[in-house]
Amino acid sequence: MDKRVLGDGGPELSVVGVGCNNFGARIDAAASAAVVHAALDAGITHFDTAEMYGGGRSEEFLGAALGPRRDDVVIATKFLPRSADQPYRPGTLRDHIRSSAEGSLRRLGTDHIDLYYQHFPDADAPIEEVLEAMDELVREGKVLHIASSNFSAEQIERAAAVAADKGWARFTGTQIHWSLLSRDVEESVVPAATAVGLGVVPYFPLASGMLTGKYRRNQEFPSGSRLAGNAERASSIATDENFAKVEAFEAFAADRGHTVVELAIGWLLAQPSVASVIAGATKPEHIAANAGSVWTLSPEEVDAVAHLAR
């Protein structure tokens, strides 16, 4: 599988990554290991987890499944924001970040994190405190690269300016919700990230399964599927408008001998700023579908799909 460097000086990632949010939440250790091993066999080297996934079990399951293959991959994980009932005081977030990093290292069974994300911005803590704490982790060798997640354009720009001014480790990438059914980030976040040298890692590229073809208009959601268990999410995404778009995407892909999954991931990978696309999996066959979905679209096809997605 092809690899791309994340932003200016980030880690080298396989263009398709595994989102490990299902580990410890929807699947157990054995099923998680089966997904990890299928991904390794498919050439995937980018594994994305977080301390909040499965209450920490995602990191535990991933570390155990990788075993001696740990150094063959890039492990990305994220620290949680402060709890809502914890008031901010200077130094609070710094201590929280360091404690979170130590916990992730322990659960992953490793001595370093390849890519460490601030999972969500902190509304009260200055970005200076975040970057200084993460810079310390980089200098200590516990973290190799740092990144942001769910940041606005303004927050991305501010973080880049502070890191440059202080001479601290800088974010090399940003993770955002981006798919053919969710394109609002294209107006501000993606241009801001590109302007300051950040690579982009889209998550939810298959729109909770809408872009897999598993859901059909006026039919019940398959048992065990993501939308079957989330009425709020289903009402916001399984709309007539989105079903019409998915049907157009399916027809476009089929005319060219491809699936809608291949279209969804291939279109994101055709965007200049995108380094890797992460998609969750609960079964090895999901990995096979995702790993085989690297369709290199022509510029004309990229534009045509964007028109269908309006």
Segment (H or E) for 173 = strand 171-177
- Is the Cβ–Cβ distance between 82 and 46 less than 8 Å? no
The Cα 43–Cα 247 span in angstroms is 31
Any residues with CB less than 8 A from the CB of 111 and at least 6 apart, and which? 105, 141, 142
Q: Which position among 53, 116, 203, 215 bears the catalytic label?
A: 53
SS3 187: coil
Centroid of chain to Cα 13: 12
Give the list of residues 6+ apart from residue 167 with CB closer than 8 angstroms, or none: none
DSSP state of 8: T
- Contact status, residue 166 vs residue 132, Cβ threshold 8 Å: yes
| Whether residue 53 lies in the annotated active site | yes
In sequence order, the β-bridge partners of residue 173 are 199
DSSP 68: G
Q: How far is CA 28 from CA 58, 107, 145, in A?
A: 9, 15, 29
Which residue type is seen at 210?
A: M
Catalytic positions, written as ranges: 53
